[in-house]
Amino acid sequence: MISSTIRSVQSLPEHKDRFKKLQVHLEICERCHEALADKRLTDLVALEQDLATRVVNLKAVDKELLQFLQDPALDLSLKLRLMLLCEAQLTEEGQSARLQDLAAQHLGRAAARKLRTWAEALRRLREGRERRMRRSRAGSGVEGDSFTGDSPRRARLWRWRPRLATLLQDLAAGNLDPAHFRCLRSQNLAGRVHSSVVIFVVGGITLPEIRATHEVAAALPGTQAYIGGSCLLTPRQLVELCEAF
């Protein structure tokens, strides 16, 4: 009785179609697992996460990095991505020169030039950040200085003094200067309380800025704030907290 029922069910067109779909999904899963194993993507992602959170042992990183660079099954783009991440996160003395030597040896001269260009840009970025931090500690940074002049190229966002909360409050009160914000220069928009505000932070947005924006928007009845950025920056304190574990 049971066997005949099973045969009857299996003979149904719906059952055959469902079984074919399951076979297709099974084949897709098998190919995905094969790709993960062949390209060692699981190990590669684990190393990238360790580097991104700086929970690393330098000797272990050197050993794993060399294994990935010598693996012919890995794409050049994956190897270069790993080198760029090492360049950005490992700041020990002589580290940059050593990575460039490894790139020239295992990835070729073109990849080594790309890494050298990235390292130079990263060095200038770090030096600029250090100069701004020194000016901030010396008390030379004033919020109003961030928007001097009409040229957008001269406008700067002081990241250690997030201004989004103040800007939203001034926007709701109609106190923003249209000379600094082109979107407010229309007479129809001047002094008007906006029900929706879209904010995009060039260079990446931080978690404190997201929180401040939503707190101010929640305190203003009828106002909705949509906030985004070119990336989400991880605060240094959060990284240090992850390292502690």
pTM attached to this predicted model? 0.41
CATH 3.40.50.10490 fits 146-237, yes or no: no
With bands split at pLDDT 50, 70 and 90, how would you rate the model's confidence at 102?
Answer: confident
Q: Residue 25: pLDDT above 60?
A: yes
- Give the list of residues 6+ apart from residue 23 with CB closer than 8 angstroms, or none: none
pLDDT of residue 134: 77
The residues with which 187 forms a beta bridge, in sequence order, are none
The closest of 164, 173, 175 to 211, measured between CA atoms, is 164
Q: Indicate the burial class of 122 (C-beta count within 10 angstroms; 0-12, 13-18, 19 or more).
A: middle
| Percent of the chain with pLDDT strictly greater than 70 | 69
Nearest-angstrom CA–CA distance, 79 and 171: 47
Nearest-angstrom CA–CA distance, 217 and 224: 6
Long-range contacts of 13-18 (CB under 8 A, 24+ apart): none
| Segments making up each domain of the chain, as ranges | 2-38, 41-136, 146-237
Q: DSSP characters for 94-119?
A: THHHHHHHHHHHHT-HHHHHHHHHHH
pLDDT in tens, 45-71: 778 777 766 666 666 777 888 888 888
